[in-house]
Structure 1
Amino acid sequence: MSSNSVSSALDGQHFRHVVGHLASGVTVVTTRTATGPHGMTASSVTSLSLDPPMMLACLNRAAPTAHAVSESGRYAVNVLGQEHAHLAQQFAVPSEDKFRGVGLTAGEHDLPLLAEALAHIECEVVEEITGGTHSIFVGRVLSASAGQGQPLTYFRGGFGRFEFARDDAVYRRARTQVLERQYAAGAVLHLDDLAHELGVDAASAFYALTRLAADGLVQRDPSRGYVITPFDVTTSDATFDARSAIELGVIALTAHHLDVEQLAELRRRFEQMAALLVGERFLDFDSYLDANYAFHEHLVSLAGNPALTAAFGSLSIKTVMTRSFGSTPVTSQDFIDAQRQITEGLERRDAAAASAGVMRYTELAKQRVREILAHTGGRL
């Protein structure tokens, strides 16, 4: 059959039905012109290149936002979370004020960003291509940031989510088995065996393995497959010492120059974390882990130095804490006290006190890992 006959037989409605089976993430593309902010829901958005970082956004040429992006030469991709279907609907239909009731923040490049979005990517248009009814904007990434959560998806004409709830439950069961040391360090986790043990299909077991790999609990060996990652004192000490060095540097650079808003955010994150450790136990370790990471991430970000922030992000702090602290609900208020010392020291612009808090927290963490490893023969 020739390409012409295929094209004539395939009408637009049928094609939409077929490609609707391709699940995609949901975003709101925004920009700003002299007339104000513009935005529209878009699911035809994807990363194009990692080096250099580039994005591709396809917008209907009839939409005002497409003309606005063409005029401004910049756009932001706001990735929606699974609880943001209302935003997807609001920006998908024509309206005099699409931004009504929507919280906005200004991006690093003065683009309007949806405050609730899961992630933000600001781009500069380097090429505009016409493809049928749409304009294709190739964008060079200027800045990118992401928070926690699961993405909203578009599938067969509706908004929803993948089987995250089911697959996440499978992942958490597998994670518990690893943390409870049901598998020896260095043991191979075979996909079919894991699926059988968990009573799930191979797809769910594979999802669990990829999440465990992202957590650093397993690692991919090219010849053996997924292997339980060994964890020992050397790994722990190196990670906590590296975090300490970064944070001590940040404090030395910023302690006397922090503004009220920066300190208020640090205090807010500290209180959120402290509420999850009551007495000598974690109320919810996973939530504590996220809050703890958010606290220290903000501390490092006070320097306003992307290289320091990237170095902190590369330390796999969550993995180390999960492998050690996550193996038992028992902990100590001493950790909160040390992090309170950091917070209060910075609030007083007392670099020495804040630094002492960092060093105290680091030594507490290293010692606690030693106590935990002492019960497991020195490795997890």
Structure 2
Amino acid sequence: MKTTDLQAGESPQQLVDQTLFRDVAGHFATGVTVITTTNEGLPTGTTASAVASLSMDPPMMLVCLNRSSATHDQIAASGVFGVNILAQDQGDTASAFARKGTDKFAGIPWAPAGNGVPLIEGSLATIACRVAETTVGGTHTVFMGEVVDAAAFPGEPLTYYRGTFGRFEHGAVEKAYKSLRQHVLQRKTPLSAPLDPQVLAEQLRSRPEYIRQGMVRLESEGLVTRTADGSVLVAPITAELAQGFFAAQAAIEAGVIDTYLPHAREEQIEELRVARAALTAVVGTQASADLAGYLDAVRLFHRRLIGLSPSVQLLGAYEELSTAALWFSILPEGARTEMLDHGNLIELADAVVARDSTAARAAVRRHLDVVAGIAADAITACGGTV
């Protein structure tokens, strides 16, 4: 009811305090988008969470922007906008576009849609729209746009809750799984000893139900076994099982090299050059005092290589196959250094930076042979299992 419609003797209801409203509204978890447009050849954009699908027939999106936003004025002038739904690893992108007065597109790859709006690469989904209607609500303009192009990609969404970017709860489940996997590989619970979800939840700062979910995944990997009474035990690793982990990682790398290296963007190759430089900087200095730094450099290079693929799941699968924690807990220092096998890694890095798929595949194969051989020798020395 408008104030002018009040009956005699009535008074308008007092609106809620702005600070209280901001706090209460912040309890609504949302996805995160970057709204983009272009006007006279200049791209602009801003982070926004007040976005929704409006209609299926015709397909329409609704975007709310503060009228003080520069992006607001550019959309009003251009009549077009893009909705970039961010993936869970794009928190830095969200932060960059939330700032004012900076070159928000600096270092962020994007490509124009058919109507010219910038679409940010790596987004979970992108939607290109043309403005059909607008209306005003308080300090904001509501842009209602007809969808002219849309695309979705594999991955998980970035979320926004009470002023913080994050991910859905399964992020906590994933963290519990990774912590439990390290615990098992480092043999912090002895071989054939039962894993207690309650105790482990306390040790790993997680929840028992998350630990149980992690146990199911580790059972599928062969790292734990379940007895007839339901107890979960740490399983021994044989040379055959270890070979399977190494071969699976090599297969992923070879697949990425064949499928994505020939079409890699120059900025991706530059990231690999940086990772290669980090790798070469620590070669020859991987004494135990610097082992952590060397492992970080090796891990960075592999992440950049697998990152040529747009699939977050593929990188996750590659990292889930890692058994480094086991080997570096049981191998003597000399064998650890040999297992890192920096010679073949440098050859692999050189081949990848040169976009030489044939040489890169050969280096992956040589690296596989070296690490699998060292692991087999270590397992044999331990009596056939570790």
- The alignment's TM-score, normalised by the length of structure 1, stands at 0.60
What is residue 95 of structure 1 aligned with on the other side?
none
**2: CA distance between counterparts of 1:132 and 1:259?**
42
Could you tell me whether the CA contact under 8 Å between 2:252 and 2:318 is conserved in 1?
no
Instruction: Give 2:56's aligned residue.
Output: none
Q: Which moved more, 1:278-287 or 1:364-373?
A: 278-287
Give the equivalent residue in structure 1 for 2:80: 72
**Following TM superposition, by how much is the alpha carbon of 1:354 offset from its aligned partner in structure 2, in angstroms?**
4.0
CA distance in 1, matches of 2:196, 2:50: 36
Question: Which stretch of structure 1 is more off in the superposition, 14-23 or 251-260?
Answer: 251-260
Mapped partners of 2:231, 2:135: distance in 1? 42
Match of 1:233 in 2: 239
Q: CA RMSD in A?
A: 5.6
Q: Does 1:362 align with 2:368?
A: yes
Give 1:337 deviation, angstroms: 0.4
Deviations 1:121-167 (A, max 9, x none): 34125899999955688994444679xxxx79542xx45889xxxx9
Matched, 1:106 2:109: yes
TM-superposed CA distance for 1:181, in Å, is 1.1
* Contact 2:155/2:313 (8 A) holds in 1: no
> 1:339 aligned to 333, 345, 350, which one?
345
* Cα drift, residue 361 of structure 1: 0.5
Confirm or deny: 8 A CA contact 2:35 2:48 kept in the other structure: no
Superposed, which structure 2 residues align to 1:302-321 within 5 Å? Answer: 313=315, 315-321=317-323
Tell me which residue corresponds to 1:296: 305
CA distance in 1 between partners of 2:176 and 2:330 (Å): 20
**Structure 1 unaligned residues grouped into runs of 5+:** 1-7, 48-55, 92-97
The structure having more radius of gyration, on CA atoms, is: 2
1:12 Cα offset (Å): 7.7
Alpha carbons of structure 1 residues 342 and 23: separation in structure 2 relative to 1, 3 Å: same
The reply to whether residue 266 of structure 1 matches residue 282 of structure 2 is: no
How many Å separate the matches in 1 of 2:315 and 2:305? 10
Specify which of 43, 53, 60 is matched with residue 64 of structure 2: 60
Cα distance in structure 1, aligned partners of 2:355 and 2:165: 47
Q: 1:359 to 1:17 in 2, by over 3 A?
A: closer
1:279 to 270, 282, 286: 286
Contact kept, 8 Å, 1:32 with 1:38, in 2: the verdict is: yes
Closer/same/farther in 2, CA of residues 250 and 326 from structure 1, 3 Å limit: same
Contact kept in structure 2, 1:33 and 1:71, CA below 8 Å:
no
Q: How many Å apart are 1:362 and its aligned residue?
A: 0.9
In 1: Cα distance, 2:124 partner to 2:244 partner: 33
Q: After the TM superposition, which residues 1-380 of structure 1 pair with which residues of structure 2 at under 5 Å, given as runs?
A: 11=16, 13=18, 14-22=20-28, 27=32, 29-35=34-40, 36-44=42-50, 59-60=63-64, 63=67, 65=71, 68=75, 71-72=79-80, 74-78=82-86, 87=96, 90-91=99-100, 98-100=101-103, 103-109=106-112, 112=118, 120-125=123-128, 133=137, 140-143=150-153, 154-155=161-162, 158-159=163-164, 177-184=183-190, 189-196=195-202, 198=203, 203=207, 231-245=237-251, 247-248=253-254, 264-275=270-281, 278-279=285-286, 281=288, 282-284=291-293, 287-288=296-297, 290-297=299-306, 301=308, 313=315, 315-327=317-329, 330=333, 331-332=336-337, 335-345=341-351, 353-374=359-380, 378-379=384-385
- In structure 1, how many angstroms separate the alpha carbons of the residues matched to 2:43 and 2:154? 19
Give the secondary structure class of the aligned counterpart of 1:283: helix
Percentage of pairs with the same residue = 19
